[in-house]
Amino acid sequence: MSADAHEKAKRLIAARYVEGIGAADREWLDGHLETCSDCSEFARATERAIRSVRGVSVRVDPELVARTRQAVQLRASELRGRQAQWLPLWMSCAVSWVLGGLSMPLVWRGVVWIEQYVNLPSPVWILLLMLWWALPTLAMAAVLGARQLHASDERSHFDRRL
């Protein structure tokens, strides 16, 4: 019997108790355990260990349970808030691109007019056009970043109280 088969058997024994295994893997494991005494002893030892752990009763302080529940709820609301933060950013990106595309001819004329009177080098007015297009999205990203920083400050304050 190869060492890979024994490793596979040990992996399947552990997986059987954690996430479960499929029918084909169960059939292979049962067949392997019938022929391999080392792996069948490992399976029996694992089963005894799991049974003994399940039989242990632990008394937990109710205050600890309440604080843990509060921390989990805070984290869940924070994660929901993070997901909700992305929608305004994507919407502002879309609006920015559409309005930037629609207003580009007017902005182009304005930049050409400024270039004639101020004598701007070509990279500067190209940069101005790119900033015009990206400015609303950058502003929304800055607002969301500030909100996230504020939320993390509140969470660290809450964590210190715990």
In tens, the pLDDT along 134-161 reads 777 787 778 778 877 776 766 565 555 5
Token pair belonging to 88: 């305004």
Q: pLDDT at residue 76 above 60?
A: yes
Using DSSP, state whether 55 is helix, strand or coil.
Answer: coil
Listed in sequence order, the DSSP H helices in the chain are 3-18, 23-35, 37-54, 62-118, 122-161
Q: pLDDT at residue 3 above 80?
A: no
| Predicted confidence band of residue 63 (pLDDT cuts 50, 70, 90) | very high
Q: Look at residue 154 in the predicted model and tell me its pLDDT.
A: 63
The string of pLDDT tens digits covering residues 81-136 is: 777 767 777 787 788 778 877 887 887 788 778 777 887 777 887 787 788 777 77
Token pair belonging to 5: 């088969």
Q: Look at residue 155 in the predicted model and tell me its pLDDT.
A: 59
The four Cα atoms 39, 40, 44, 50 give a dihedral, to 10 degrees, of: 50
